[in-house]
Amino acid sequence: MNREPPNIRVVTEDGIPVEDQESVSTFRPLPAEAIAAIATGINPIRAIRVHRNMTMAQLAYMVGVDPSVISLLERGYRLPSREELIEIARALSVDIDDIRP
């Protein structure tokens, strides 16, 4: 039996984790402004969404949730499910780790 050690993360040539390969298409690097905002304590989803000039309603539509869900996630009143993380990362064109709370 060929088993990989549990701490090894298998990625594609593009650096996308194999389990997320179909979920997130292309990543765009985080801009310095978004990184600075995140460093000051602003929620990563909000910082990246604002930098991308996207409204909560637009992001919610792309993710397939109500805008109130995006609001709750950005304010830290609700944790995203794995599926929501994948869809938000896809909509914002970032790696899941960039938006994970």
Q: What is the pLDDT along the chain (101 residues), one digit of tens a residue?
A: 444 444 545 555 555 555 544 444 467 788 888 888 989 999 999 999 999 999 999 999 999 999 999 999 999 999 999 999 999 999 999 999 999 87
Point out which residues pair with 17 in neighbouring strands: 11
Q: CB neighbours of 1 closer than 8 A, spacing ≥ 6?
A: none
pLDDT (0 to 100) of residue 12: 52
Q: CB neighbours of 66 closer than 8 A, spacing ≥ 6?
A: 60
Alpha helices in 1-101 (DSSP H): 32-39, 44-51, 56-63, 67-75, 82-92, 96-99
Longest dimension (CA), the chain: 49
pTM of the model: 0.70
pLDDT (0 to 100) of residue 28: 76
